[in-house]
Amino acid sequence: MQREDGHDADSLFTKHSVADVRILHARTSTDIERKKQDLRVMVGERYRDLINTADAIKSMQSHSTTISHNIESLSTMCDARTLKTAVGMRLVRDKDTTLEQKRGMVYSVAAQIKVLVDTPEQIWHAMESHAYLTCTLLYLIAQRIYENLQQSDTALRPMMSFPVIRRQWNAVSHFRAQIIERAQGFLGSFDQDPQNIAETLCAITLLEPTHEPLQSLLTARRHLPHPSHPTHPIQATLTSFTKTVQDVYTLFCKDVFARTVQRVQDTDMTGLYRNMHSIWRYLPGCVQGFRPCVAWGGVDVRGGVRGWVDLMEKETRKSVEGALEHVMSGKELMRIRKGVDEVLEELRDWDVMCTAVVGEAYDLYTRLLHTPFTHTTDRILETHFKRLSSRPTTYTLPPCTNLSTDLWTRGAVDGTTKMADGFEAGLKAILEDMSGLETIRFDKVFQNGMRAYVDGLRFLMNGKGMDDTLGIGRVAKRVAMRLKRMQGDLPCGPKVLEGCLEAFMELYVDCHSVWVTSVCERVREMLVRGIPDEIPHGMDQCQDEDLASQPSTYMLQALWYIHQEWNRVGGVTLEKSVVEYLKQELGRTVQDVYHHTNSVQRAFHIMYLSRLGFPLSMDEPALVDVVDRYHARTCTLFGAFSTNVPALKPVQVRDVPVVTPPRFTLLPVTRGTYRGFA
């Protein structure tokens, strides 16, 4: 067996091994099966059309042959000699007209069959040009011809004599559904000319008299542009809405559709067919005089459009929200808003059209876009502040061991400044990104964001030591200072800003509370350990010349420790509330330790601490001058921690001479009694 490509069985076995031949055999078998399957699919898909086409061709061939024979017969009959012979033969019968009547009947049937045969091609050509009114008129003429042939009671009996009529009508009848479907799809396009829309509405109404034209247009316009539209989906949606209102106004308020209906009803059907003028005169009068009738007597435009507007408002908001859900920045949202404004600016006579179509002025942005844009703005704003409030969890703050030295080196101060700078830069970026956008929830979102930022700083306090906690407190204060400095740029109310500043400062105080508690506990230990070494003499056991003139060593050590801590944490930078809280807690600690004791030395301590600003009170006239003089000499050692620093004044001369400070500060005194704490 020799193949055309030169590969016969012998050459295959010569050139290839048995395994290769088997592979080639399997591959060839697979190709044969695939070709068979493709052939079956193609035949199955086109089987009905193929059979109908074959039948139509066969029938057309048969009838064409018959017509050719008839024409030849007519030509023969019309021959001059033949006519003379026929006339001579029929002179006796007075020109029998039966043959002419039969000829006219045959010509009429042949012309109608010709129209039926040519109609499918004409309809296809019109559909490709989106001339759906032409398609409809062609279909209606073919329908009229078929009905006329069905009702024919002539002796020719065309339905029985010409089976091609029924088959050809079957080929034409299925166009009705296709014309309606494609015409509705054509109405759904938003870039069509109003005249084309009016003709398409006439076509649908002619094929479906129950379809009201306005509702057909509005039903086709209920869909929204696909998200893959070349322009932005929101602009395309807005354009589709405005174009529909414009089309309704042009068609039904400016009578474009009414004029089109009148023109269609006056249309001469002769011009629908190409190269049909020669046989048009043979068509019966019911076909030549056919005029379409559009079932339309006016419409309530406002009533029909209001329902469509209500439905499209919901669909448009939903579509716009879906298109905006991927927008993550205010600048991008502002760019979309500018595109919307450009579409709105291009509208002409919009209020006039809305008043005529809807019955009232219609603000597109307020009714369709305001809610989705506001929701998107709030979402973007919340996302920005959520991102800003999560920054504390990403920071690593170096611990502060001694602020007095760290002020001049790179350490905790740099970390605190970095966090504050990051906060300020983030907040400025938010304000810049949201510039120009409308929102009524900025106060709430801003307040929630600041509280979340404070909560993030509080979360950093978990498991941290005292020095780390102080660093977090300083961050809170720095952020509050930056926030206060930006108050002129923030679009929030003064009460909201004040509440946020209070939250940061409350965290600042809470962070220093740990340090205050630690200092108080250490001072308590030092006082409790030093009290047993004192001689427990009261004022009733001491003489005037032996009054205490300076604090005990353990008290001076406690004060020295306090001022060491004060210097370490940068006491001059502390807020007044923290300083007052520290002195209040130290006063409670001293009062709690000295509550059940009374001695001259402890009275001196109380009065001296009260001079240093501790919230303690005690009135012992015998010790006033001595305490004041000692305080005047030593208060400058405590710097800013000490308040109410008096001028140095000499001791007033009294009945009892002033004694020099003894080595031991607790000596018996006989005058006065210790009255305890006030």
Q: What is the pLDDT of residues 176-202, one digit of tens each?
A: 999 999 999 998 888 888 999 999 999
- 215-242 pLDDT, tens digit per residue, is 888 888 887 665 444 456 788 888 888 8
State the pLDDT confidence band at 627, using cuts at 50, 70 and 90.
confident
For residue 511, what are its two tokens?
A: 């962070």
In the chain, the amino acid numbered 43 is: V
For 443-497, give the DSSP string: HHHHHHHHHHHHHHHHHHTTT--HHHHHHHHHHHHHHHHHHHHTTTT--S-HHHH
**Lowest-pLDDT range, 139-143, 616-620, 674-678?**
674-678
Tell me what the pLDDT averaged over the chain comes to: 79
Which of 177, 197, 206, 180 lies closest to 295 in space, CA to CA? 206
For 226-242, give the DSSP string: -TT-SS-HHHHHHHHHH
Q: For residues 651 and 61, which has the higher predicted lDDT (pLDDT)?
A: 61
The pairs formed by 270-273 with CB atoms below 8 angstroms and a separation of 24 or more are: 272/122, 272/134, 272/137, 272/138, 272/141, 273/115, 273/118, 273/122
- 495-545 pLDDT, tens digit per residue, is 999 999 999 999 989 888 888 999 999 999 998 888 876 655 544 444 444
For 285-353, give the DSSP string: HHHHT-----------HHHHHHHHHHHHHHHHHHHHHHHHTT--SHHHHHHHHHHHHHHHHT--SHHHH
For residue 328, what are its two tokens?
A: 């993550």
Distance CA 508, CA 477 (A): 6
If one counts every other C-beta atom within 10 angstroms of the C-beta of residue 312, the result is 21
> What integer is the mean pLDDT of 370-398?
85
The answer to whether residues 643 and 582 touch, using CB atoms and an 8 Å cutoff, is no
The answer to whether residues 666 and 600 touch, using CB atoms and an 8 Å cutoff, is yes
The answer to whether residues 446 and 490 touch, using CB atoms and an 8 Å cutoff, is yes
> What integer is the mean pLDDT of 75-84?
65
Distance CA 582, CA 517 (A): 8
Q: Where are the alpha helices (DSSP H) in 393-441?
A: 403-406, 412-433
Distance CA 299, CA 284 (A): 37
List the chain domain ranges.
9-90, 99-231+255-288, 301-375, 390-511, 534-641
Q: What percent of the chain has pLDDT over 90?
A: 12
State the pLDDT confidence band at 602, using cuts at 50, 70 and 90.
confident
The answer to whether residues 359 and 464 touch, using CB atoms and an 8 Å cutoff, is no
Whether residue 9 is predicted with pLDDT greater than 80 in this model: the reply is no
The answer to whether residues 366 and 427 touch, using CB atoms and an 8 Å cutoff, is no
For residue 568, what are its two tokens?
A: 């370490």
Distance CA 386, CA 364 (A): 32
User: Which pLDDT score is estimated for 99?
Assistant: 61
DSSP bridge pairs for 669: 542
In the chain, the amino acid numbered 487 is: Q
Distance CA 214, CA 204 (A): 11
pTM reported for the whole predicted model: 0.63
Distance CA 40, CA 232 (A): 46
User: Which pLDDT score is estimated for 80?
Assistant: 63
User: Which pLDDT score is estimated for 2?
Assistant: 46
Distance CA 238, CA 448 (A): 35
Q: What is the 3-state secondary structure (H, E, C) of 63-74?
A: HHHHHHHHHHHH
**Lowest-pLDDT range, 414-418, 566-570, 571-575?**
414-418
The answer to whether residues 74 and 103 touch, using CB atoms and an 8 Å cutoff, is yes
User: Which pLDDT score is estimated for 498?
Assistant: 92
SS3 153: coil
User: Which pLDDT score is estimated for 156?
Assistant: 66
DSSP bridge pairs for 670: 542
The answer to whether residues 651 and 625 touch, using CB atoms and an 8 Å cutoff, is yes
If one counts every other C-beta atom within 10 angstroms of the C-beta of residue 158, the result is 20
If one counts every other C-beta atom within 10 angstroms of the C-beta of residue 501, the result is 17
For residue 671, what are its two tokens?
A: 């005058």
User: Which pLDDT score is estimated for 412?
Assistant: 47
State the pLDDT confidence band at 421, using cuts at 50, 70 and 90.
confident
Whether residue 91 is predicted with pLDDT greater than 70 in this model: the reply is no
Whether residue 36 is predicted with pLDDT greater than 90 in this model: the reply is no
DSSP bridge pairs for 542: 669, 670
Distance CA 122, CA 276 (A): 12
Task: Give whichever of 147-151, 403-407, 411-415 has the largest mean pLDDT.
Answer: 147-151
Region of residue 597 (left: phi > 0; alpha: psi -120 to 50; beta: else): beta
For residue 340, what are its two tokens?
A: 């919307």
